[in-house]
Every structure is written in structure tokens, then in C-alpha cells.
Amino acid sequence: MLPYFLKKLFNGVLVLLGVVVLVFVLFQGFGDPARLVLGQTGNAATEAAIRKELYLDQPRPQQFLHYLNDVSPVSIYTRSDWQARQVGGIAIGGARCLVLKTPYLRRSYQTKRPVGEMLLEALPGTLLLAFSAMTLAVLLGVPLGMLAAVRKGSWADSAAIGGSILGISAPSFFMGIIIAYVFGFLLSGWTGLSLTGSWFMTDMQGHRRLTLQNLILPALTLGIRPLAIITQLTRSAMLDVLQQDYIRTAYAKGLTRRAVLWRHALPNALNPVITAVTGWFAELLAGAFFIEYIFGWQGIGKLTVDALEKLDFPVVMGSVLLSATFFILINVLADLLYGIVDPRVRIR
């Protein structure tokens, strides 16, 4: 198990390295970073200092190596450069030292704050939204898929298939606008839900207070498509499993229908569902941008969209790298879950 895990982790690091290259090539060539930091004011001396700080006075390959050095958890800095950048971590060595640190995603052009700090502040909101949407999709999608498979050809099966096709066909941003308008505006007096809002509220004294009321509409909107896909996959997998010989043997032994479905059929039908759940959870973390923006939900998506509007590229680059990291880790987790749920694919 451990060699397999290390191999998957190594492949994930290679993929992440490719994402770093792509992000640098795409965003580092847009505009003049020094002018974006300065804005409309600033003199030549200040601009030259910023160019030196961002390594813009060096050739492009060296700029990339410096960026790779910044985002790497193991970096090499001169001690004065390490202290000036305030990247934190542990320095080993003298004037030129080896630094063990969290990835340094540089500073925002607009707020001058570390990008990593900004992303960590927004991350809980996105995790809460994605986890809630996926929980809703799993809790409803798996039972609906089982019901449709067990009652194949009935009205329940037709309703499940029709609803899932509609859910897959409807874009999330379109459903977000419809759901926000209907439940957050037209029926707000009856539902008690507001059009926009985040997972915390700030009182008059500046204290934050947790509120989950605003989570309902964005979680519902974000969970519609994975709910539809999980329903379809569960139905298809269950139909295939219910035709197997061991299911007929279980019935012949006198087991109840509930025991056969939940203990024998469902575990063997969960492989495609696990793939959908893990893949969609990673996609929800990265794809909640427009949903967060529509509902005013404070998360990485809204932070990234705001940064794009202001051409704050370090924030966008950091957001892309964080999303790619989640994709890789969740895919590795999915491969490990296969062996736990289904003994047929356990790793020897």
C-alpha cells in the first residue's frame, strides 16, 4: 500500500509542477506587474525597487526559477532576502540558507498582504460550501439511484431519470440566478432566506458570528449537478450488480431484501459513485467561483473573481495552485478508497 501511495503522490507532484509552469506562463506575461503594484502614482526609483523585489529585472527563465523557489516548501534564499520577504519557516545555514517553509505565494498587488494568508482566510467558506453541496448530493443521490434501480420501469424510475437529466443539463450559474431570484427575492418573506450573504455576520462591535442560514441556497445550487450524476451512476451500477449470481445466492440463503441491497449490492456498486463524489468534490472546490459571486459567499471563488477584476494576478495564481493541489490530493484519496470499499480492487 505504501509504495503505491508514494507512487501516486509522486505523479501528483509532477502534475502540480506542470500547473506551476502553466500558471507562470499564462499570468506573468499580462501587463506590467510593477505598474500594477504602483498604480497611477510612484516614481522611477520606487518602480525599480519593485522590479528588483519581483525579479522583473532578470530574464524570464530566472524569473520562473525564483517563482518555483517561492512556491516550493524547500527553498534556497540568501538570509537577507529570506528576512526581507518574511516568508517564515526554518532557515538552515549561513549567508545562503536552506529554508523549510509553507509555499510562499507572494503578495497581493492591491492589498500588499501575503496571498497565502488571504487564501487561508477564504478557504473555510469554500470548504463549507463544497462539503455541504456534496453531502446533499450523496444523501439524496444514492438512495434515489437505488430506488430507481430496484423499481426499474416504474414512475419512480422515470422521475429519477428525468430529474437527473434536467439537473445535468442546467448550468450551475443559470440555476444560481433562478434559485436566488425565486427563493431569495420573490419568496424571501416565506422562506426567510436572503439574496446574498456569507457564513458569518459582523455585529456592530466588529465581532463575527456564525450563521448557516445563508448556506442553504448556494449549497442547493452547487449540489444539483453532482446529485443528478450520482443518481444516474448509482442506478446504472445497481442494475448491473443486481443481475450477478451472488445476489441470487444471497436471496436463496433467505436474506431479507434490505440486507441484500445494503450489505451486498450497494458496496459493490460504489466504485463509480466514489469516482464521481471525489471528482466532483474537487471540482466544487474549484468551480464554486460563480456561485460564490452570485450569492455573495465569502470564499476562494469570490476572492479570485474580485482579484481578476482588479488584475491582482498573484491572488489568481495562488488560487489556481491551491485548487490544483486539492484535485491531486482528492484523486489520490479516491484510489485509496477503492480498496477500502471494494475488496476486489484491494492493492496487494
Look at residue 154 and give its three-state secondary structure.
Answer: coil
Strand order in the sheet with 74-78: 74-78, 96-100, 90-93
- pTM of the full structure: 0.79
In this predicted structure, the answer to whether residue 342 has a pLDDT above a threshold of 80 is no
The helices-and-strands tally (H runs, E runs) of the chain is 17, 5
Cβ 300 vs Cβ 319: under 8 Å: yes
pLDDT reported for residue 244 = 82
pLDDT reported for residue 140 = 92
In this predicted structure, the answer to whether residue 282 has a pLDDT above a threshold of 60 is yes
Closest CA to 178 of 122, 135, 220: 220
**% pLDDT > 70, the chain:** 87
**% pLDDT > 90, the chain:** 3
Tell me the average pLDDT across 194-209: 67
Tell me the average pLDDT across 204-229: 80
Q: What is the mean pLDDT of the chain?
A: 81
Give pLDDT tens digits for 217-273.
888 888 888 899 899 888 888 888 888 888 888 888 888 888 888 887 888 787 778
In this predicted structure, the answer to whether residue 76 has a pLDDT above a threshold of 70 is yes
**C-alpha distances out from residue 182 to 178, 214, 218, Å:** 6, 15, 13
Domain ranges (residues) in the chain: 72-104, 115-201+209-341
Q: Which CATH class is domain 115-201+209-341?
A: mainly alpha
Give pLDDT tens digits for 163-193.
888 888 877 778 888 888 888 888 887 877 8
Give pLDDT tens digits for 30-61.
556 766 666 656 667 777 777 777 777 788 88
pLDDT reported for residue 346 = 55
Alpha helix stretches (DSSP H) within the chain: 2-27, 33-38, 44-53, 60-71, 79-85, 115-150, 155-169, 172-181, 188-191, 216-241, 245-252, 257-259, 266-268, 271-287, 289-295, 300-309, 313-341
- The sign one gets for the Cα dihedral 60, 65, 70, 72 is positive
